[in-house]
Every structure is written in C-alpha cells, then in structure tokens.
C-alpha cells in the first residue's frame, strides 16, 4: 500500500510515537495536494520520521494544514493576550467562560470590551492596548482539554488549567489514544482523546464494516476484502464502478472508531467504452458545470483519465470530481484543480503575449527580462546593457497591451552573464 504514496508534501515537525520526541517528518500523499490548499477529507497522509524512519498513516482531517478552517465557535481569542474585534469568540482566563465580543471602544491607554457570555449574560472587561505585533494578537486557539475532540496537528492551543499557550504536535494511537501537545516552555504533554475519538478493536471494525457493506453496497460487497489496524480500514479487491469506491469510503468512515479508510480497489467495468466516448462525456460534464472550469488539459488512456485545470472557487474544486467519477467506463480518475480567478488567468495570458512580442524585438536580443503581473500591472525586471534597450522594452510592452499598467524595473549593466531570456514570472 505504501508504494501508492507518490507525491511529496512539505515536511512537518510531528511528535514521533517511536522516538518520543518532536522531529521532522517527511509527508507523502497519494494525490497531488498543492501548497496552501485543503485536501479531500479522509485522504491518507504518510508521515516518515527522519530520525527513526518510523512510518505512520494519518488522514487529512488530522492536520490543520490540509483541512478547512474550524467552525468559529470552536476556536477562541484569549482576553488579555489577543487583539479583539466585534463578534470574535473569546475565552476569559480566570473567570473561565467563553463568549462573543458585542462591542468595544478605546480609551487613552486601554480598550474596553462588552462580552456576551455563552449563557446569555453580559460583562465588561478592560485591558491595556494590544498591538497587532503582540505574539498571540491575531491567532485563534483551541481550548484544551475541553476541546480535545477535533483538535488537529498544527492547531494553536491554550491550556485552560495551566494557563499557557502551545501547539498540537501529534496523535498517538495504540492502547491509549492521545493528543501530543507542545507547551510554551517546550515541554510535551499527552492528553487522552475523548471516547468519540478512540479507535475500536480491529476485529470489531472488520465485522461492522462487512455488515455495513452488505446492507448499503450489496452489489459490490462480494468483491471486497477488509482488514484493519489502529483504526484504519483497508479495502482491497474489485468493483464495477469507480463511483462505488467513494460510496464505500463514505460508508466505512461513518463506523464508530474508524480514523480513516484506505483502498486498493481495481475497477472492472461491466461494459467497456472507447477513450473517445469517455473523453467526450467528461468534456460535456465539465463545460456544463457552472462555467467555472477553464484551461482544461484532459488525458484519457484505456479508461484512465487525468485532468489538470483551473477553477474559480473551492466548491468547484470539491464537487467536480464527484460528478465526473460517475462517467461510465472509467477505470481511474485524477483531477487536479487549482483555484484561480479567470481575471488572473487572462492577465497571465496577456503577460505571455507580451513576452512573445518582446522576444521578436531585435533590440532586445541578448537581454535577461522577466515579466511579473499582478492587479492588471506588468512589472519588467532583469538586465539589459543600454538605456535604449530599457526604453525599447517599455515601448514593446506598451505596444503589446495598452490596457496594462507597465512598471519598468530593469537594470542597465555593462555585461550580462549567463543565457539570455525573456519570460513570465
């Protein structure tokens, strides 16, 4: 199963259950996950300790960096440490209550807040003015141990009994399932996970999973074998439709005590379709989907489809793969969608066209010019050997697109080393 983790992700410092320390872990995934984007819930993440090489399977929902934001009423700013705004959820140390900021006003040397407690009562609190540069000014925190359930690796935390800040750094599964937390003094504490997060025995998971598949996915259940380890259900075998794999994962993920599901299932369609038919069907689905997918690159070989495209929003990125996987005849489907507004895409095309025009200008041969674009502005950077070349670059850029603002930051030097180029940043 580990051979399927082919994409490298940025490393993370995680508490290692073998080393018993926080150390760098290389992270790998089975699908491409772009930096700064979330991953589908339940997507397996392989973590490899750089010290002892211990391998641990996590899931995307167990890392804050791969997950959507927490709900607003489950993360808090800390009164006396945070820069507070109206409607922020807050925790009041000492009085030990949570609430929301109803109003605020500033006096000469302090700020005064009116807070609505969770029980509906109101109170006022004043604090010295806190700047945006204070260490905890703009962060939201999970309150531990009260909010241990749902806390992810990477979440900032505030320990209400120890009155200190920290960070969730690991999840340890075994005899006792625990959350590892690094406090402000660099000490490590282990908090037992609540019952809802405790994993179930392997035998129990397999029995319940087999029953769930026979009752909810009866037409595919006979072709699937199940195994379990540390709350991870592994499904292997064959199924008739690619969409059945998503259904299977959703069914198994609902079983109490399951952390996540991994599959190694081969699709064997009852009827085969040509790549041309599959491609045309997928194109129809893409073009009919809210007109929010563009710059599509589609490859189909023997029913294995790979799509790379840009889309406008997170909803499209999340929903489109579920729609496309229902296409008859699909064996595998890889959908890599990057969120980018159509305006940005059009601007980049304008910048590429500008680069082509600059390359055609004889006066700019032998130069090193890069074109950066942002907010309808093209910035020229790089090196030329004369003021006339710099001026020629400006004129060529303006001629390429009169609607873009041009900023020329090109430097004039005596001699250019290295290969010449004119490209888009």
pLDDT digits (tens, 9 = 90+) for 106-125: 888 888 899 999 888 998 88
In this structure, are 187 and 114 located in the same domain? yes
Residue 75 has pLDDT above 70, yes or no: yes
The predicted model gives 65-86 an average pLDDT of 91
- 346 pLDDT tier (thresholds 50, 70, 90): confident
Residue 323: inside a domain: yes
Confidence of residue 342 (pLDDT cuts 50, 70, 90): low
Among 195, 210, 244, the domain boundary falls at: 195
pLDDT at position 1 is 60
Residues 16 and 98 in one domain: no
Residue 192 pLDDT level (bands cut at 50, 70, 90):
very high
Name the domain count of the chain.
Answer: 5
Q: Is the pLDDT of residue 68 over 70?
A: yes
Q: What pLDDT was estimated at residue 53? A: 94
Lowest mean pLDDT among 39-53, 76-90, 295-309, 389-403: 389-403
pLDDT band per the 50, 70, 90 thresholds, residue 159: very high
What is the CATH classification number for the domain harbouring 215? 3.30.70.2210
pLDDT at 348 exceeding the cut of 80 = no
**Residue 413 pLDDT > 90, yes or no?**
no
Contact indicator for 210, 255 with CB cutoff of 8 Å: no
Calculate mean pLDDT across residues 204-227.
95
Residues 182, 225 within the same domain: no
Select from 66, 87, 113 the last residue of a domain.
Answer: 66
pTM over 0.85: no
Same domain for 349 and 333, yes or no, is no
User: 14 with 40, same domain?
Assistant: yes
- Residue 270 inside a domain? The answer is no
- pLDDT tier, 291 (very low <50, low <70, confident <90, very high otherwise): low
Q: 275-287 and 314-324 are packed helices; what angle lies between their axes, rounded to 10 degrees?
A: 150
Closest CA to 98 of 121, 124, 76: 76
For helices 202-216 and 242-253, give the axis angle rounded to 10 degrees.
Answer: 130
Range of the domain at 377: 343-424
| For range 176-184, the mean pLDDT | 94
Q: Are residues 48 and 60 in the same domain?
A: yes
User: What CATH number did the domain enclosing 300 receive?
Assistant: 3.30.1340.30
CATH assignment at residue 393: 3.30.70.1350
Q: Which residue has the higher pLDDT, 405 or 75?
A: 75
The verdict on 184 and 107 lying in the same domain is yes
For residue 263, the model assigns a pLDDT of 92
Supply the pLDDT for residue 341: 66
Q: What is the mean pLDDT of residues 287-311?
A: 85
425 pLDDT higher than 70: no
Domain presence at residue 243: yes
Mean pLDDT estimate for the chain: 89
The verdict on residue 269 lying in a domain is: no
pLDDT above 70 (res 383): yes
The confidence score (pLDDT) of residue 378 equals: 82
Counting Cα atoms < 13 Å in the Cβ hemisphere of 182 gives: 16
Q: Please give the share of the chain, as a percent, with pLDDT higher than 90.
A: 57
Residue 185 within any structural domain of the chain: yes
Return the number of other C-beta atoms located less than 10 Å from residue 51's C-beta.
12
Does some domain include residue 126?
A: yes
Instruction: Indicate whether 153 and 112 sit together in one domain.
Output: yes
pLDDT classification of 329: cutoffs 50, 70, 90: very high
Residue 401 has pLDDT above 80, yes or no: no
Residue 138 lies in a domain: yes
Per-residue pLDDT, 62:
96
* Same domain for 178 and 80: yes
Are residue 14 and residue 93 in the same domain, yes or no?
no
Of the residues 195, 215, 247, which one is the last residue of a structural domain? 195
Query: Do 244 and 327 have their domain in common?
Result: no
Mean predicted confidence (pLDDT) in 187-199: 92
Identify whether 333 is part of a domain.
yes
Average pLDDT over residues 226-246: 95
Answer yes or no: do 110 and 184 share one domain. yes
Choice among 7-11, 236-240, 409-413 with the minimum mean pLDDT = 409-413
Q: Look at residue 20 and tell me whether its pLDDT is greater than 70.
A: yes
Q: What's the rounded mean pLDDT across residues 361-388?
A: 85
Averaged pLDDT, 294-317: 88
| Residue 165 banded pLDDT, cuts 50, 70, 90 | very high
């Amino acid at each position: 199963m580990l051979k399927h983790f082919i994409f490298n992700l940025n490393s993370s410092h995680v508490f290692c259950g073998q080393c018993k320390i926080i150390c760098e872990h290389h992270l790998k995934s089975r699908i491409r996950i772009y930096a700064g984007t979330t991953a589908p819930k339940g997507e397996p993440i392989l973590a490899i300790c750089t010290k002892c090489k211990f391998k641990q399977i996590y899931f995307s929902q167990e890392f804050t960096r791969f997950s959507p934001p927490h709900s607003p009423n489950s993360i808090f700013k800390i009164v006396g440490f945070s820069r507070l705004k109206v409607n922020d959820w807050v925790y009041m140390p000492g009085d030990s209550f949570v609430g929301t900021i109803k109003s605020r006003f500033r006096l000469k040397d302090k700020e005064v807040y009116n807070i609505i407690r969770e029980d509906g009562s109101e109170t006022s609190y004043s604090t010295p003015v806190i700047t945006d540069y204070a260490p905890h000014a703009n962060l939201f925190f999970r309150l531990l141990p009260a909010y241990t359930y749902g806390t992810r690796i990477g979440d900032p935390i505030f320990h209400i009994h120890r009155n200190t800040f920290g960070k969730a750094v690991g999840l340890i599964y075994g005899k006792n399932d625990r959350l590892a937390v690094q406090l402000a003094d660099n000490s490590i504490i282990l908090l037992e996970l609540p019952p809802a997060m405790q994993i179930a025995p392997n035998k129990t998971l397999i029995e319940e999973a087999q029953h769930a598949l026979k009752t909810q996915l009866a037409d595919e259940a006979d072709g699937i074998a199940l195994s379990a380890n540390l709350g991870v259900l592994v499904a292997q075998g064959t199924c008739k439709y690619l969409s059945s794999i998503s259904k299977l994962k959703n069914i198994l993920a609902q079983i109490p005590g399951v952390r996540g599901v991994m599959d190694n299932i081969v699709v064997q369609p009852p009827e085969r379709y040509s790549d041309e038919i599959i491609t045309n069907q997928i194109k129809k689905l893409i073009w009919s989907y809210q007109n929010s997918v563009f710059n599509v690159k589609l490859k189909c070989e023997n029913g294995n489809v790979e799509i790379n495209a840009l889309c406008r929003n997170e909803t499209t990125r999340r929903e489109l793969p579920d729609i496309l996987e229902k296409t008859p005849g699909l064996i595998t489907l890889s959908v890599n969608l990057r969120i980018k507004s159509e305006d940005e895409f059009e601007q980049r095309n304008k910048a590429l066209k500008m680069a082509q025009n600059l390359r055609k200008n004889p006066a700019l041969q032998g130069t090193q010019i890069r074109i950066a674009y942002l907010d309808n502005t093209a910035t020229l950077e790089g090196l030329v050997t004369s003021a006339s070349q710099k001026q020629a670059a400006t004129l060529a850029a303006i001629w390429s697109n009169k609607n873009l603002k041009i900023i020329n930051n090109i430097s004039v030097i005596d001699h250019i080393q290295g290969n010449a180029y004119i490209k888009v940043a």
